[in-house]
Amino acid sequence: MYIDDCIKGVVDLYESEILEPINIGSSELVTINQLVDIAEEIAGVKLERKYNLSAPKGVNGRTATIRLIQKLLGWEPSIRLREGMEKTMAWIEETDCSPE
């Protein structure tokens, strides 16, 4: 989830009368391989992927269940994963975060 959406979700939740724990996040399901694909496309690079098939296997993907916050506050992220990653890459490039 892009930081702008995260802040809006936290503020909306803080200003509400909701007292129970509630998820904020993106319901956009993405695998690690899909995340790497997106990063490669944005950066214009191709990474070498190495897989250790003997290692313990985790979940295939992660996503947040945000039905409750959608129902109670009408909130959901407005910025898709790819768009947020593109904005982040542009920020990294313009701030020149590379080591000297």
> What mean pLDDT comes out for the span 28-37?
90
pLDDT tens profile 48-99 = 999 888 988 877 666 678 899 999 999 999 999 999 999 999 998 888 765 6
> What mean pLDDT comes out for the span 2-14?
95
Residue 44 has pLDDT above 90, yes or no: yes
pTM of the model: 0.77
Q: What is the Cα–Cα distance from 13 to 73, expressed in whole angstroms?
A: 8
Give the single-character DSSP code of 56. Answer: P
Residue the block writes with tokens 């109670």: 72
Helix axes of 81-95 and 32-43: crossing angle, nearest 10 degrees: 40
